[in-house]
């Protein structure tokens, strides 16, 4: 037996072992965040990101949870935070905090904690996590504000923990500015703990692997991922493709235009020509645009390449300053996820023109998170004993429409894409807040027809349990623009919302729901793929038998 000259088998095997070790450490970091978090959207829905960085701030490994908007923004946040507080100002036991939309994930509701990892006195890297808070003060989550100043408490990059000591002044300041101080504080401390435990696990693993730090392994991970991504991109036909999408947005429709160019050493996404910034909080910061746009590419090109600074570096995203995709301070940005979640659709539409057999039809895209508030801020009754106690609540539960049909399969019904969050059990939702979800089931005839049909949306009905008024923070889209089919597939149905007593509701902005009203939400369906005439009649029959599809749907099933 002779050894292969160019490759020492031991080195190669060892490298693979180390890499999978790092990925399993961040997966565990994410699980621990979900287990210890207080914010229901983190603990039940997994609206978070968790990742490991080297000392230069390069993301080496990332947990497969949460939303791409968090994950890829965290990747950008850690180096930006390092610019604010450089390496030589960091001590063992420090933990940095920020919710700056322009440094991290695009709105104040996400708190990012970045924690340096020290080993034998040397800073070797960082664990960072970004998690969603239900409340961060201000008006509440919605696009209603006219500037970021109205959107809540802003936390610049600060040391939340200094050499193991929690900065009590800062914590007091945070507590004083939010509606649920106990939960927010406990949450933040649980993020710190998760990073701490992960740091310890990493150091133990490095001991066992006989490694001093992450530098050389980091170079290998980044280089190999970047090279593989570029190889995948080179398999695409060279050239340009442009796609655009129109969204309801807030009041005036918004157009997002993307030109994708396949080059020799990567792929460029240019959003030149997209609508100007909105006066309401549906705007995106560059990081967030970059995050979701890149994700659209990653789903189609080299999806099995792990997500890290290397694989992401093969994708360049350009968005004109002042456009709705790249606003500067102090534009309002709170509900940036609405347009954000459409960016993968726009990008995938470009790719469909280059690689038509790999790209699904459009889907509902934006999650329909139903966020409700009750209490004095809604009914003006500050006198009640319970005004700031049990009568006051802030609750959010996620609901998904249908995804677009895939080139060789139907779309997924009531399934989140591109978001990676989970829906909470209704039994838990109703235990958290005094509301009743009277209906939550698939919406018949909402899927776009095709050789493969889109996923079905869903029908939801909600009321307060005692008939008291509540506030609805509406952040819904696809109420005027359908999810388009591909290759001859039909469009999915519009979304719709209103009161069962007859009145329509606006898709965006805070609205007060009067006493004894019941809200309904009809979530959009996904587009179809290929002509409907090509569909397997057996599958049509199944959908008919299931009551999900009728040839002549009733008027109220439109």
The CB-of-174 to another protein minimum distance in angstroms stands at 15
Q: Is the dihedral of CA 372, 376, 378, 379 positive or negative?
A: positive
**Binder of another protein out of 146, 173, 428, 512 (CB under 8 A):** 428
Tokens of 456: 């079905």
The residues pairing with 133 across neighbouring beta strands, listed in sequence order, are none
167 lies in the binding site for another protein (CB under 8 A)? no
Residue 383 near residue 404, CB atoms below 8 Å: no
Whose Cβ is closer to another protein: residue 154's or residue 161's?
161
Whose Cβ is closer to another protein: residue 56's or residue 415's?
415
431 lies in the binding site for another protein (CB under 8 A)? yes
Helix, strand, coil shares of the chain, percent, nearest 5, are 30, 20, 45
Whose Cβ is closer to another protein: residue 38's or residue 331's?
38
**Binder of another protein out of 202, 315, 334, 423 (CB under 8 A):** 423
Rounded Cα distance between 113 and 131, Å, is 9
408 lies in the binding site for another protein (CB under 8 A)? yes
Whose Cβ is closer to another protein: residue 164's or residue 322's?
164
17 lies in the binding site for another protein (CB under 8 A)? yes
35 lies in the binding site for another protein (CB under 8 A)? yes
392 lies in the binding site for another protein (CB under 8 A)? no
Residue 369 near residue 397, CB atoms below 8 Å: yes
528 lies in the binding site for another protein (CB under 8 A)? no
**Binder of another protein out of 16, 276, 503, 516 (CB under 8 A):** 16
**Binder of another protein out of 7, 501, 533, 552 (CB under 8 A):** 7
Quickly count: other Cβ atoms within 10 Å of residue 19's Cβ.
Answer: 18
**Binder of another protein out of 357, 545, 555, 556 (CB under 8 A):** 545
Helix axis angle, 215-234 relative to 9-36, nearest 10°? 90
Nearest to 256 by CA among 142, 348, 328: 348
**Binder of another protein out of 409, 480, 500, 516 (CB under 8 A):** 409
The CB-of-31 to another protein minimum distance in angstroms stands at 7
Please give the C-alpha separations between residue 98 and each of 88, 110, 131, 160, in angstroms, as whole numbers. Answer: 19, 9, 11, 9
27 lies in the binding site for another protein (CB under 8 A)? yes
**Binder of another protein out of 26, 44, 74, 104 (CB under 8 A):** 44
In the 8-state DSSP scheme, what is residue 149?
G
The residues pairing with 127 across neighbouring beta strands, listed in sequence order, are 52, 115
Q: CB under 8 A: which stretch of 62-70, 105-113, 137-145, 331-339 binds another protein?
A: 62-70
Quickly count: other Cβ atoms within 10 Å of residue 323's Cβ.
Answer: 21
The CB-of-410 to another protein minimum distance in angstroms stands at 10
**Binder of another protein out of 88, 427, 554, 556 (CB under 8 A):** 427
* Residue keyed to tokens 């829905």: 45
CA R_g for the chain: 24
64 lies in the binding site for another protein (CB under 8 A)? yes
Whose Cβ is closer to another protein: residue 104's or residue 300's?
300
Question: What is the SS3 assignment for 123?
Answer: strand
Q: What's the CA angle centered on 517, arms 514 and 522, to 5 degrees?
A: 115
């Amino acid at each position: 037996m002779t050894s292969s000259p160019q490759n020492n088998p031991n080195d190669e095997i060892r490298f693979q072992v180390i890499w999978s070790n790092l990925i399993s450490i961040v997966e565990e970091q994410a699980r621990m965040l979900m287990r210890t978090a207080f914010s229901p959207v983190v603990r039940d829905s997994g609206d978070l990101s968790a990742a490991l960085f080297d000392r230069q701030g390069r993301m080496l490994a990332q947990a497969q949870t949460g939303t791409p908007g968090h994950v890829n923004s965290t990747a950008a946040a850690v180096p930006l935070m390092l610019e604010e507080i450089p390496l030589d100002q960091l001590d063992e036991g420090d933990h940095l905090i920020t919710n700056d939309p322009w440094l991290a994930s695009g709105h104040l509701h996400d708190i990012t904690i970045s924690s340096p990892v020290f080993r034998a006195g040397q800073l070797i890297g960082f664990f960072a996590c970004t998690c969603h808070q239900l409340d961060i003060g201000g008006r509440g989550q919605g696009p209603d504000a006219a500037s970021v100043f109205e959107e809540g408490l802003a936390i610049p990059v600060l040391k939340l923990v200094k050499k193991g000591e929690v900065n009590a002044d800062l914590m007091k300041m945070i507590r004083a500015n939010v509606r649920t101080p106990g939960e927010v504080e406990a949450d933040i401390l649980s993020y710190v703990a998760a990073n701490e435990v992960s740091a310890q696990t990493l150091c133990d693993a490095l001991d066992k692997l006989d490694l001093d730090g992450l530098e050389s392994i980091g170079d290998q991970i980044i280089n190999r991922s970047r090279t593989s991504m570029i190889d995948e991109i080179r398999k695409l036909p060279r050239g340009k493709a442009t796609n655009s999408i129109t969204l309801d947005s807030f009041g005036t429709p918004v157009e997002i235009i993307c030109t994708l160019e396949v080059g020799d050493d990567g792929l460029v996404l240019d959003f030149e020509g997209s609508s100007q910034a909105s006066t309401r909080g549906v705007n995106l910061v560059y990081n967030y645009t970059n995050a979701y746009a890149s994700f659209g590419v990653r789903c189609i090109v080299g999806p099995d390449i792990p997500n890290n600074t290397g694989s992401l570096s093969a994708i360049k995203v350009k968005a004109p300053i002042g456009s709705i995709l790249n606003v500067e301070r102090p534009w309002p940005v709170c509900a940036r996820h609405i347009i954000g979640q459409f960016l993968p659709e726009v990008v995938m539409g470009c790719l469909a023109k280059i690689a038509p057999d790999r790209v699904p039809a459009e889907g509902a895209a934006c999650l329909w998170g139903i966020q409700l508030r009750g209490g004095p801020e809604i009914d003006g009754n500050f006198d009640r004993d319970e005004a700031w106690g049990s009568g006051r609540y802030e609750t959010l539960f996620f609901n998904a429409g249908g995804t677009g049909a895939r080139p060789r399969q139907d779309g997924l019904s009531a399934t989140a894409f591109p978001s990676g969050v989970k829906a909470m059990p209704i039994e838990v939702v109703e235990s958290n807040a005094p509301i009743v979800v009277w209906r939550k089931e698939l919406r018949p005839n909402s899927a776009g027809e095709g050789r493969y049909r889109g996923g079905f949306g869903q029908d939801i009905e909600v009321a307060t349990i005692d008939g008291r008024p509540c506030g609805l923070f509406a952040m819904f889209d696809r109420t005027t623009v359908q999810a388009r089919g591909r290759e001859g597939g039909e469009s999915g149905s519009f979304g719709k919302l209103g009161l069962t007593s007859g009145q329509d509701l606006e898709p965006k902005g805070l609205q007060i729901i009067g006493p004894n009203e019941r809200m309904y939400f009809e979530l959009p369906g996904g587009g179809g793929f290929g002509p409907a005439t090509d569909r397997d009649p057996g599958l049509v029959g199944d959908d008919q038998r299931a009551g999900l599809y009728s040839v002549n749907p009733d008027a109220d099933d439109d």
